[in-house]
Amino acid sequence: RGGEMVPLQIYRGAAVGPKQRNTTTTTMMRQPGNAEEENNLSLSAQKLLKSYDMLSEKEKSQLENKIQAEARASETLNPSTDLHILYLDKEICVTSKPSGILSVPGPRRNPSLASLVYDLIQPGIDLDQMVVHRLDMDTSGILVYALSEDALKQLHIDFRDRKVHKVYEALLAGHFRTAAEVEIDVSLERDPFHPPFMRAAQPKDTTNMEVIHPTFQKFIDQAPKPSQTELRVLSLEFLPQSGLPVTRVRLIPKTGRTHQLRV
């Protein structure tokens, strides 16, 4: 605490394991009528719950997924099991983020890896100033947090100037046999039906521009942005339990668009 050094931890595996979830809270569908539980949901989820009986089966399923995701994001974190520090000095903290944990608190101020680092180290800058980059909640990997304004400034410059080399591994459904290496070049835009997520850009004349969440209208109206990703096939595999075919690939983003790799 207060700048005191934390011993380095050594990890012999490729990555730390995913966060262990409380299944009683993450699999529960919160039906209308429980005011305390409803108040813990986002405004968009509360709005959908109020008209639950009028939703289609598909919309109800999407609402269930949304509620489960919000429940997962609000779970309490344990620093002894969820915080894995790889390197620490007075300027930066490098961590290995497990799958299932938020990188940053976000607008709802949910528990996050950044919060754990902040509470442990108590740097001389605010929690939100520590954030240099992010990983999706379900993505595991290396995260760097700044512990000083000078470090934050320099890291922002390094990321902006593409001096940071990012490499991801992912599993794709099915066996991809088209080529061993592919350069993916596709423009991305906000999905008007599932904001704030992204999708491959579509011609405007084939898109229903009625936005489900009007607060995202300014993002929907933005022009599509180009993205480039290098994909390399590593192996063709089968999932151990289901036996379904998957392809392990290495992804190297050449641009830094939101949700670029997922799209």
Which amino acid is located at 61 in the chain? S
Closest by Cα among 140, 148, 165 to 89: 148
Closest by Cα among 174, 186, 179, 224 to 204: 224
Catalytic annotation, residues: 136
Copy the structure tokens of residue 176: 């991809």
- Asked whether 201 and 188 are in contact (CB, 8 A), the reply is yes
The DSSP annotation for 196-233 comes to T-EEE---GGGS----SSGGGHHHHTSPPEEEEEEEEE
Question: Which residues lie below 8 Å from residue 109, measured CB to CB, with a gap of 6+?
Answer: none
The distance between the two most distant Cα atoms of the chain, rounded to a whole number of Å, is: 59
**Which element (helix H / strand E) includes 79?**
helix 79-82
